[in-house]
Each structure stands twice: as C-alpha cells, then as structure tokens.
C-alpha cells in the first residue's frame, strides 16, 4: 500500500442547522461553535440566519435556519454520528418526525458523493424542495452543483415556488 493511499481525503460537507425551541438563534450559534471547536472538522463558513415557517406541520414556532460548511476527513457516516452527538449534547430528544426541536443538524451534501444507505441519504433527499435550505445555501455557495440533479443551488432556488415557504433574513448574527 502506498503512502498516498493511506492518507485520508478532505471532503467539504454542508450542514443544515435549525431550531424552533428556546433561544433559537443562540441554539444555532452554539451548534456552529461546537462544529468550530471539533477536532474532526474545520468550519469553513456559514450563512446568515433566516426565520422560516415550519414545513409539513402546523402549530409550531418559526424556525431559525442556516447552513454551515466544514472540511473533514471523517466519512459521511462518522460525520452524521458527530452531528447526532452534538444534537444529543444540546438536549435534542427524538420522539416523532418533524416535531419541534432545540437543534436540528442535517447532512445536506458530502463532497460530490451520492449515498443511499438505511440511515444516511446524501444529498439530503428534500433539500432541493426547501427554501429554508436553498436560500442559505445560495448565500454560501450559489454555484455549487447538486451531485444528482446537476443544477446549481441558484438554479434550484429559482425553480422553487415561494408559496408556503417564506424565508426572512434575521439581523441577529
């Protein structure tokens, strides 16, 4: 085995961040800070923060949403485990789908990889249908191409109707 094949490869991953319980903005900032302090990842950027209505459910508080990018040698599965550990550390308990949450960390993209496994699907299967993901993605990387759809984040956002998915920039940074 050559030295080159033993070295880990750095991958850029994009993580959706959201919260609609407690101090939503601070929860998102705490998650970003935990990513920044991680030894396994290097935070390479994050979008601004956006207020959004919940999608798929009613009678919930608005979310604060954004996207962060990291550079990592972790595999996609190991990165997902790290994100779930951050959620748990911050107090998230999973009971039902799309319930209110103190923090939600979604692995949106992992390099150019397309992964379809029991507990991990990358690209995130709904990201191209959600303005609360695409608006911050366009802010961060407008020309980034979706690995399986072949369209840039800007093109995906332009195709998505606003009906029921209003996204408002929040001044809190």
Question: Which residues are known to be catalytic?
Answer: 92, 101, 104, 106
Helices of type H across 19-164: 24-37, 76-89, 131-140, 153-159
Name the E strands within 25-126.
Answer: 41-46, 49-52, 63-72, 104-110, 115-116, 121-122
CB-CB neighbours of 18 under 10 Å: 24
Distance CA 29, CA 25 (A): 6
């Amino acid at each position: 085995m050559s030295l080159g094949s033993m070295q880990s490869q750095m991958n850029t991953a994009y993580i959706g961040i959201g919260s609609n319980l407690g101090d939503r903005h601070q929860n998102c900032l705490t998650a970003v800070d935990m990513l920044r302090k991680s030894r396994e990842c290097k935070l390479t950027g994050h979008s601004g923060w956006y207020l959004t209505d919940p999608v798929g459910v009613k009678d919930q508080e608005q979310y604060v949403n954004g996207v962060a990018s990291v550079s990592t040698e972790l595999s996609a599965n190991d990165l997902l485990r790290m994100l779930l550990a951050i959620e748990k550390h911050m107090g998230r308990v999973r009971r039902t789908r799309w319930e209110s949450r103190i923090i939600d960390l979604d692995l949106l993209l992992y390099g150019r990889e397309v992964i379809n496994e029991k507990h991990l699907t990358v690209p995130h299967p709904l990201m191209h249908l959600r303005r609360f993901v695409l608006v911050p993605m366009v802010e961060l990387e407008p020309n980034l191409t979706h690995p399986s759809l072949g369209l840039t984040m800007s093109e995906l956002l332009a195709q998505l109707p606003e009906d029921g998915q209003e996204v408002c920039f929040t001044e809190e940074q």
